[in-house]
Amino acid sequence: MSSMIDEDVAADPGADRKPTKRQRQAAKIADAASGSMKAFVVKLVLMGLVDAIALYAVFILALQREWIVLGVIVAVTVFVNWIYFSRRRLPAKYLTPGIIFLSLFQVFVLLYTGYVAFTNYGTGHNGSKEQAVSSLMAASLERVPDSPTYQVTVVDQLGTLGLLVTDPDGDVQLGTMEQPLAEVDGAEIENGKAVAVDGWTTLSFGEVISRTDEITELAIPASDDPNDGALRTPDGSNGYLYTSNLEYDEAAGTMTDLSTGTVYTDIGTGAFVAEDGQELRPGWQIVVGFDNFIRAVTDPRLAGPLVYVTLWTFAFALISVASTFFLGLFLAITFNDLRMRGRKAYRIAMILPYAIPSFLSALVWAGMMNQSFGFINQVLLGGASVPWLTDPFVAKISVLIVNLWLGFPYMFLVCLGALQSIPDDVQEAATVDGASSWNVFRLIKLPLLLVSVAPLLIASFAFNFNNFNVIYMLTNGGPRDTGAPIPVGFTDILISMVYKVAFTGQTRDYGLASAYSIIIFIVVAVISIIAFRRTKSLEEIN
């Protein structure tokens, strides 16, 4: 990157005057003298790399017809090129790389979570309506009785399997899962059966055997209309026409089960539903408005868990902050005495819980708290059988103990630093005025300490509010609440409930999980407003 003195001058606050032509010339000369060729080459190479990657991405996206994403990529690439090849836009040169990642993986995903909360996204509602229709039809394929046998050859093109089909009249057709059967010319015929065609590799007998699973899964649509059925081959050499038990009527938006005559209608719930309420799965993804939120608070089997999980989340975060802070403060006072020997050794020993990755500590504690074999019951309590992790109430206590262990070193260090930064004169003045040491602490040191520690306490609350690791690794949120339709337990906090609803149950419910995320989102937003009010940190930014 070449140096740009003119910009730096312009970027300086008290220097709004435009540089004169002479000044600009001088700057250019200085620029040429100082800017190194090497830096420019590096910049050129890097930008070339970025553009090449972008070009590749555009190519792939054009093949997939993802026009919106393609447009965004083109816009971003043009913008990046403009920034780095412009002589101005100096701040943007430094900010752009971080902002690109920030906007995609922090800002966009948060907004997208908001969107998902208003959809029925989840197991059984994963894709578009077209995908749902074709997978429903494919799942109910049945061989047409007395249909003719087609001779087929399995062919491969860059990993995509296709069938080369010779129908009883001798016509040759080719199709894949995505491309319906279509006539091909120039196929190589052997004993009345097409065995090879240009652009495709014919699978050998051995390959057919080894890829049997893939081949028997193949269902080549007979035409663009899904009602025409599909060609399947059970053995890789003979094919039969299969038609679906279901008939799709696009105009009416109905699926009719031909064997029973039941009509399933799209009534706007993201699935085909029969009159008796029976649903065809899979359905598809639609926007359901506030349904997830309404379901979360009005369905009694969901509302109960939501209430106790929310209360426990607050209790857990508050008690964790309070217990770690008071233990840390007490220890800081205890060890903040210059007369005491070995303070460094104590400090290192006490920092250790903090230095160990917390997921490991939580797993080790889970082992020690095992009811039947754990160290605490077997050795410390001499063979007791305390249900540390399996009783709803005791498990909460266990979680708090473990979180105290994890968090007190941090508070100790923070309080020690804050105490030591209070000037000695304050103490001396108070002592001269006759204050007792308790009063000095209560009325002078504690308020001073709280001023500097309060923002960290709020941050610590916000952190513990989402302290996933300790809950998930220690109790896995358990003991499990068997009455709830979602996988939730009595020590779950909101974030662990989100994770379990979205990723661990029999059915994944992204919509509901995102709705729960929104609740956390609001709480965190309130906390941060309070935090910023208190600390005035935003006003300090100039």
**Site residues (CB under 8 A) for other proteins, limited to 382-441:** 403, 405-407, 409-410, 413-418, 420-421, 424
Q: Within 12-31, which residues bind other proteins (CB under 8 A)?
A: 12-13, 30-31
The verdict on 542 binding other proteins (CB under 8 A) reads yes
Q: Within 302-361, which residues bind other proteins (CB under 8 A)?
A: 324, 330-331, 334-335, 337-342, 346, 348-361
- Residue 125 phi/psi, 5-degree rounding, is -135, 60
Kindly give, in sequence order, each residue whose CB lies less than 8 Å from that of residue 199, ignoring residues fewer than 6 positions away: 157
**Part of the chain binding other proteins (CB under 8 A), chosen from 151-159, 193-201, 433-441, 454-462:** 454-462
CB of 212 to other proteins, least distance (A): 24
CB of 193 to other proteins, least distance (A): 36
| Residue type at position 421 | S
Cis peptide before 479 (omega within 30 of 0): yes
The verdict on 205 binding other proteins (CB under 8 A) reads no
Q: What is the DSSP code (8-state) at residue 422?
A: S
CA distances from 537 to 525, 530, 531, 534 (A): 16, 11, 9, 8
**Part of the chain binding other proteins (CB under 8 A), chosen from 55-63, 140-148, 201-209, 300-308:** 55-63
CA distance 291 to 327: 45
CA distance 359 to 345: 25
Q: Among the residues of 86-168, which ranges form H helices?
A: 90-102, 109-116, 129-139
**Part of the chain binding other proteins (CB under 8 A), chosen from 76-84, 302-310, 426-434, 468-476:** 468-476
Structure tokens at 390: 């399996």
Q: By CB under 8 A, name the one of 23, 24, 35, 81 that touches other proteins.
A: 35
Closest to 418 measured CA to CA, from 438, 439, 447: 447
Instruction: Report the residue number, 87 or 301, with the smaller CB distance to other proteins.
Output: 87
CB of 116 to other proteins, least distance (A): 6
CB of 228 to other proteins, least distance (A): 28
CB of 40 to other proteins, least distance (A): 10
Q: Within 109-168, which residues bind other proteins (CB under 8 A)?
A: 109-110, 112-113, 116, 121
Q: By CB under 8 A, name the one of 55, 75, 78, 99 that touches other proteins.
A: 99
Q: Within 355-374, which residues bind other proteins (CB under 8 A)?
A: 355-361, 363-368, 370, 373-374
Q: Mind spelling out the 3-state secondary structure of 398-419? A: HHHHHHHHHHHHHHHHHHHHHH
Instruction: Report the residue number, 164 or 418, with the smaller CB distance to other proteins.
Output: 418
Instruction: Report the residue number, 219 or 416, with the smaller CB distance to other proteins.
Output: 416
The verdict on 80 binding other proteins (CB under 8 A) reads no
Instruction: Report the residue number, 353 or 505, with the smaller CB distance to other proteins.
Output: 353
Q: By CB under 8 A, name the one of 120, 153, 476, 491 that touches other proteins.
A: 476
CB of 107 to other proteins, least distance (A): 7
Q: What is the DSSP code (8-state) at residue 12?
A: S
CB of 203 to other proteins, least distance (A): 24
CA distance 130 to 250: 10
- In terms of phi and psi (left: phi > 0; alpha: psi -120 to 50; beta: otherwise), the region of 533 is alpha
CB of 129 to other proteins, least distance (A): 18
CB of 307 to other proteins, least distance (A): 20
Q: By CB under 8 A, name the one of 67, 94, 290, 393 that touches other proteins.
A: 94
Q: By CB under 8 A, name the one of 17, 21, 98, 260 that touches other proteins.
A: 98
CA distances from 39 to 81, 87, 92, 277, 475 (A): 16, 15, 18, 68, 54
Instruction: Report the residue number, 248 or 472, with the smaller CB distance to other proteins.
Output: 472
Task: Using CA atoms of 70, 74, 76, 78 in order, give the dihedral in degrees to the nearest 10.
Answer: 180
CA 133 to chain centroid: 28
CB of 434 to other proteins, least distance (A): 21
Cis peptide before 282 (omega within 30 of 0): yes
**Part of the chain binding other proteins (CB under 8 A), chosen from 130-138, 161-169, 192-200, 518-526:** 518-526
- In terms of phi and psi (left: phi > 0; alpha: psi -120 to 50; beta: otherwise), the region of 380 is alpha
